[in-house]
A and B are shown apart, each in its own frame.
Chain A
Amino acid sequence: MQIIENEKKYDVVIVGSGAGGGMATKVLADSGLKVAVIEAGPFFDPANPAQQTQLKWPHESPRRGAGTTRAFGEFDMAYGGWEIEGEPYNQIGDSQFDWFRSRMLGGRTNHWGRISLRFGPRDFKGKDRDGLGENWPIGYEDIKPYYDKVDKLIGVFGSKEGMYNEPDGYFLPAPKPRLHELYYKKGAEKAGVKVMPSRLSILTKRINNERGICFYCSQCSRSCSVYGDFSAGSCLIFPAQKSGGQVDLYVNSMVREVTTNDEGKATGVLYIDKEDRKEYRVSGKVVVLAASACSTARILLNSKSPQHPNGLGNSSNMVGKYVHDSTGSDRMAFVPDMMNRKRYNEDGVGGMHLYSPWWLDNKKLDFPRGYHIEVWGGLGMPSYGSGFDPNSLNKYLGLKVGGYGNGLREDVKKFYGSVMGMSGRGESIASVDNYCEIDPTTVDEFGIPVLRFNYSWSDYERKQAKHMHDTFEEIIHNMGGVVLGDKPGKDKDYGLLNPGRIIHEVGTTRMGSDPKKSVVNEFEQLHDVDNVFVVDAGPFVSQADKNPTWTILALSWRTSEFIIEQLKKQNI
């Protein structure tokens, strides 16, 4: 089988079309550069009726929304999941890292929670605070101008709070809280937990004439057909094309490796077209990797050549090391005061209208770093699972559980909207012992060697999860609720979810000024090869108790400007 050469020569070849790749596409194409975007999944446009799931009812599907084919339910807009047929990954020993991939234009930005938090000044200098992990080579002041630009370009609602480590930005106005969120606010504030409007990249107000305004269907996870939420395809790649940018999309194209020349510089990428299963080469002056932290590590490690025998950019042996996800644990509550609720449309935006940022000082705690609390509940649309155990909550009211007959209808209606939940999402400590690497024993269906993971939590994370549950219970008690389920004990890691479950994996190509200890420099440029950049979450030195997307976008913009400048100066 021969490699098919693409005649076209690009200035930049971008691998991946999610947050990092989308932003690079927009900034680089807007500057006049000729860009190729290589995406492993199909073309996707949330406005395309054949692909749209927004505003569909559960009964429009024979499985009523069950998650048989998509992990978060069949209307969720991620083509993929923790398991993808034909694309395995393995574990080392008893490691349990769950790797979520979404194969489609826009990647995971089509379904994500839109929680758009800036890292604060402290988040870049964790080691200065507690001696753990490593500091970033840059600080908040370096990235602030890019956060500002991202806010204005993409749109994020929120409120100015003046908190040092939760920097304010250019916010659209926040939606008013729902009823269960007011209960949460009451309970949390009584427990001394700060509560403030959430910060989500959803348009509560017009931001330009290309994108629609949120119409409050609560379905951002299905990707918005009027582009009222941020997805990389609809908000970055399509606008780059519409404004006349030279952007060629290669979809269903699985990148195997970055190709290099005799001098060891990158010349482009090799990919497998999933339709004809043939290998293609596309060349460019610069290669930008944005395939997601672990996929990028995989591509780099698979890009072996005489010049780069250990894989591309891996002279330090650091590619794949320090992979870390957010910590996560959840708890549910039954609030008797919210039984028999009056009905009204409480959909709101896709996600919570308020949340709690980290509010404590670690000096008084037995674990490092913090977590934020997300809140969920309300009079939501029924889906597969609604009505299960229709009256199990009767046990808290001294009433009979189980049975049959029309009393069950009344039970379901009585309890509708009376259960809510809380999720803690926190910062773990990056460790060199947590890593992914190539598994020489296994290939995927495209013949590409796959990753295997070695990951275990430490007591830092376990103690944090324990603290989450203590906090949840106090808040639930304060709001007059009943805590559901038993408190997870030591045997269950205090309810700490498997690494990878929060889908914030970062750190596999970490940033640093020392080429022996890091993979990329502060401009996300490989120390080893000056025309290869990584703009996904791989370069994150630490994850913070924030969601990574806003920082991926800001860093990708900063890096893209650096690339433009370097190309102008003919440095790369």
Chain B
Amino acid sequence: MNRRDSIRSLFLGSMAGGLALESCVSAPEEVINEKIWQYQYGRTPKEAARDEALLGQQYFENTELNTITRLANLILPPTPEGTVEEAGVPEFIEFMAKDFPGLQTPIRGGLMWLDSYSNRIFGTDFIHSTEDQQHQILDQIAFPDPNTSNQKQEVQFFSLMRNLVMTGYFTSAVGIKELGYKGNQPNVWDGVPDDVLKDHGMSYDASWMPKFVDQSKRNDQAVWDDEGNLIS
């Protein structure tokens, strides 16, 4: 058994019988296996079983997913840096609705509102209206009233979708690259770069310098004198 197979069996073995779930469309087994394989990151057997069950269901109808995808593209239109599809935003929103069922009704209801409103104003549902018409609708709901904490339903719905799209994008590989996050890899921290310090008018106190790690000696085993002074 290679590593891939053993992790796969870790996921699958624990979940026999966990797939029959209520009222949701079940995906074919190969599709589930493929999805599970995408995700391997230290789950307990119970967590992995839960994930497998969720990944095996579909909550949103395909038409709803199309509207979510369109909405996501209006919130973050494609650029050379990355698209919401490359960031897996629609799949992420589909998953979150199952992972956190409290999202289901606000999103489904909001999508319905979007179509009703579009039908009323433009005589066609949201996804079939023109881009200009879609912008006109969003202009009504994308700016929360700064003077109230009780935003209207459609405004709350759009804020929720914007949050999910933004977080979905900026937690994706393309989004993280665009943001410019440089970490999550082995390195040696030796302080804020000099030019940054200078830009911010900051410096490291001379009196503090002896307290800091001399990274050239990080591999030398620590030795102290009797007073607790590090001498290696």
Given contacts A216-B187, A217-B183, A406-B76, contact A173 B162 (CB under 8 A): no
Q: A320 on the interface (CB 8 Å rule)?
A: no
B143 touches A65 (CB 8 A): no
B213 touches A174 (CB 8 A): yes
B187 touches A379 (CB 8 A): no
> What would 10 more interface pairs be, CB under 8 Å, given A53-B42, A171-B228?
A53-B41, A56-B41, A62-B55, A75-B41, A152-B224, A174-B211, A186-B202, A197-B208, A342-B199, A379-B182
Query: Within residues 154 to 182 of chain A, which ones have a CB less than 8 A from any CB in chain B?
Result: 155, 157, 159-160, 168-179, 182
User: Taking the nearest CB of chain A, how far is it from the CB of B40, in angstroms?
Assistant: 7
A173 touches B42 (CB 8 A): no
Out of A52, A217, A381, A408, name the residue touching B166 (CB < 8 Å).
Answer: A408
B41 touches A171 (CB 8 A): no
B212 touches A413 (CB 8 A): no
What is the bound-complex CA distance between A215 and B96, given in angstroms?
Answer: 33
Out of B6, B44, B99, name the residue touching A63 (CB < 8 Å).
Answer: B99
Out of A179, A206, A383, name the residue touching B220 (CB < 8 Å).
Answer: A206
Given contacts A176-B191, A337-B200, A342-B195, contact A57 B218 (CB under 8 A): no
- Count of interface residues, chain B, beta-carbon cutoff 8 Å: 87
Query: Within residues 43 to 75 of chain B, which ones have a CB less than 8 A from any CB in chain A?
Result: 44, 47, 50-51, 54-55, 74-75
Query: Contacting chain B: which of A29-37, A119-127, A360-368, A385-393?
Result: A385-393
What is the bound-complex CA distance between A140 and B11, given in angstroms?
Answer: 50
Q: B188 on the interface (CB 8 Å rule)?
A: yes
| Chain A residues close to B by CB (< 8 Å) | 42, 49-53, 55-66, 68-69, 74-75, 79, 148, 152, 155, 157, 159-160, 168-179, 182-183, 186, 197, 204-208, 213, 215-219, 337-338, 341-349, 379-390, 395, 400-406, 408-409, 412-413, 416
What is the bound-complex CA distance between A175 and B95, given in angstroms?
Answer: 39
User: Taking the nearest CB of chain B, how far is it from the CB of A243, in angstroms?
Assistant: 18
B7 touches A160 (CB 8 A): no
Residues of A within 8 A of B41 (CB): 53, 56, 60-61, 75
User: Taking the nearest CB of chain B, how far is it from the CB of A229, in angstroms?
Assistant: 14
19 A–B contacts from the bound complex (CB under 8 Å): A60-B39, A62-B54, A63-B92, A66-B96, A157-B213, A176-B189, A179-B202, A206-B221, A217-B183, A217-B185, A219-B184, A343-B180, A345-B182, A346-B192, A347-B189, A381-B181, A386-B170, A402-B144, A408-B166
- Among B44, B167, B189, B228, which residue has the most Cβ atoms of chain A within 10 A? B189
- Among A75, A152, A179, A207, which residue has the most Cβ atoms of chain B within 10 A? A179
Residues of A within 8 A of B50 (CB): 69
User: Taking the nearest CB of chain A, how far is it from the CB of B226, in angstroms?
Assistant: 10
Q: B120 on the interface (CB 8 Å rule)?
A: no
Q: Which residue of A lies closest to B173 (CB)?
A: A59
Out of B42, B180, B204, B222, name the residue touching A413 (CB < 8 Å).
Answer: B180
User: Taking the nearest CB of chain A, how far is it from the CB of B182, in angstroms?
Assistant: 4
User: Taking the nearest CB of chain A, how far is it from the CB of B77, in angstroms?
Assistant: 6
Residues of A within 8 A of B204 (CB): 176-177, 182
Residues of B within 8 A of A61 (CB): 39, 41
What is the bound-complex CA distance between A404 and B87, given in angstroms?
Answer: 17
Out of A216, A342, A385, A387, name the residue touching B188 (CB < 8 Å).
Answer: A216
Q: Mark B139-172, 1 if CB is under 8 A from A, else 0.
A: 0001110100000000000010011001111111
Q: Which residue of A lies closest to B7 (CB)?
A: A50
Out of A66, A206, A384, A416, name the residue touching B218 (CB < 8 Å).
Answer: A206
Q: Which residue of B lies closest to A383 (CB)?
A: B171
Residues of A within 8 A of B10 (CB): 50
Out of A186, A387, A401, A404, name the residue touching B170 (CB < 8 Å).
Answer: A387
Out of B35, B171, B211, name the residue touching A64 (CB < 8 Å).
Answer: B171
A382 touches B202 (CB 8 A): no
B183 touches A218 (CB 8 A): yes
User: Taking the nearest CB of chain A, how far is it from the CB of B197, in angstroms?
Assistant: 8
Given contacts A182-B202, A206-B218, contact A381 B100 (CB under 8 A): no
What is the bound-complex CA distance between A186 and B189, given in angstroms?
Answer: 21
What is the bound-complex CA distance between A413 and B47, given in angstroms?
Answer: 33
What is the bound-complex CA distance between A176 and B190, given in angstroms?
Answer: 6
What is the bound-complex CA distance between A344 and B194, given in angstroms?
Answer: 12
What is the bound-complex CA distance between A155 and B168, given in angstroms?
Answer: 39
Residues of A within 8 A of B232 (CB): 205
Out of B179, B183, B199, name the residue touching A346 (CB < 8 Å).
Answer: B183
Q: B193 on the interface (CB 8 Å rule)?
A: yes
Q: Which residue of B lies closest to A197 (CB)?
A: B211
Out of A69, A183, A413, name the residue touching B179 (CB < 8 Å).
Answer: A413
Q: Which residue of B lies closest to A172 (CB)?
A: B222
Residues of A within 8 A of B168 (CB): 64
Given contacts A205-B222, A216-B189, A416-B179, contact A66 B100 (CB under 8 A): yes
B77 touches A379 (CB 8 A): no
What is the bound-complex CA distance between A205 and B176, given in angstroms?
Answer: 30
Residues of A within 8 A of B166 (CB): 386-388, 390, 408, 412
B184 touches A217 (CB 8 A): yes
- Among B143, B166, B204, B214, which residue has the most Cβ atoms of chain A within 10 A? B166
What is the bound-complex CA distance between A344 and B212, given in angstroms?
Answer: 20
What is the bound-complex CA distance between A58 and B74, given in angstroms?
Answer: 24
Given contacts A64-B167, A404-B138, contact A342 B183 (CB under 8 A): no
